[in-house]
Amino acid sequence: MNLTVNGAACEIDGSALTPLLDVLRDELGVTGPKAGCHQGGCGACTVLVDGEPRRSCLMPAGYAEGAEIVTVEGIGAPEDLAPIQQAFVHYYAAQCGFCTSGMLLAAQAYLARGGSDDHESIQEALAGHVCRCTGYAKIIDAVAAAARGDSFDLTTTAVGKHTTMATGGAE
């Protein structure tokens, strides 16, 4: 099966039934999308499939064939953050960060279809995404700010380096 992931063409083995989430994380080493429940209930696994937000834990890999998949790693890098990522940093919209990947992509798709800074519309777009840390208010503020096109001075809230855990070796 052939997919494009964050712009890179990938060929994947295995059953067409394997959830896309597991193909991304286990076979391709793309660990941005998270497994929060493996049953579609939390939104941590959401990726963009041809620009549309989809639960990757529910999507058989065979249904992603030929599609362009974008994960959180594909919307911006530390030295070049997308507006929605900047807004999340500025508004402290991530605490533990585990729901953040899915939230960002759902928000990104919302903005791409012209979403406004109306809080109810934002809530509707992000309704499937569970966060246990922030209480959602900062997330909604961040999406609203990005919808308005606010710009931020990130020098006070972003740092150049970030923590990673040393691994035993690359897959």
Partner 1 sequence: MAVASVAVDAATETMVPGSEDEAIAAFGDGVGVVVVGGGTIVVPDLTYRRIRPSKTLMLGHAGLAGIETDGAQVTIGAMTPVQDLVDLPAPLGPCAANVADLEIRSQGTVGGNLCAGDAPEAPRGDLQGAFLALGATVRFAADGEVAEEPLEDFLGEHSGRLVLGVSFDEPAAGAFAGLDRPHTHDYTALAVSGAKGNDGTLRLAVTGAGSWGARLPSAEAAAGDPEAAGKAALQDVSPRDDALASAWYRTKVLPALVRRVLTEMGASS
Partner 2 sequence: MKVVGARIPRYDGVAHVTGRTTYVDDVRVPGTLWAKALRSPVHHAAVTKLDTSAAESMPGVHAVITWEDVPLLEYGHLSALGIPADEPLLAKDEVRYLGQPIAVVAAESEQLAAAAVAAIDVAFEERPALLDVRAAFDPDAPKIHQWGNWYPHFENEMDRRQIRKGDIDRAFEDADTIVQGVYRPAAIEHAPIETQVCQVVPEPDGRLTIYSCTQALYFSLGVVAAHLQQPLNRFKLVGGTTGGGFGGKVDTATETVTCLLVLKANRPVKWRWTREEEFLCSSTRAPWHMELATAVTRDGWILGQKMLTLHDAGAYARFSPYGLTKHSFHHTGAYSIPHLHFDGYVVFTNRVPTTAMRGFGVTSVSFAVETHMNRIANLLGLDPIEIRLKNANRIGDTSPNGVSYTDPSTVDTLKAIADAIGHELPADYRTMTNEPRSGELLPEHLVAQVGSTEGH
Binding residues for partner 1 (CB under 8 A)? 13-19, 22-23, 25-27, 38-43, 46, 52-55, 57-60, 62-63, 106, 124-125, 127-128, 130
Q: How far is the CB of 24 from partner 1 (least distance, A)?
A: 10
Query: Of the two residues 113 and 162, which places its CB atom closer to partner 2 in the complex?
Result: 162
Q: How near is the Cβ of 45 to partner 1 at its closest, in Å?
A: 10
Q: Please report, to the nearest 10 degrees, the dihedral formed by the alpha carbons of residues 85, 4, 30, 158 taken in order.
A: -20
Query: Which residues are CB-neighbours of 123 under 8 A, at least 6 positions away?
Result: 136, 140
One residue of 5, 23, 49, 85 binding partner 2 per CB under 8 A:
85
Contact 75, 7 (CB under 8 A): no
Helix then strand then coil, % of the chain, to nearest 5: 35, 15, 55
Instruction: Say whether residue 73 binds partner 2 (CB under 8 A).
Output: yes
- Contact track, partner 2, 98-117, x by CB under 8 A: xxxx--x-------------
Residues 64, 79 contacting (CB under 8 angstroms): no
Near partner 2 by CB under 8 A, which window of 60-68, 110-118, 119-127, 154-162?
A: 154-162
Q: Is residue 69 classed as helix, strand or coil in its secondary structure?
A: strand
155 CB neighbour count, 10 Å cutoff: 7
150 near partner 2 (CB under 8 A): no
- To partner 1, the closest distance from the beta carbon of 145 in angstroms equals 21
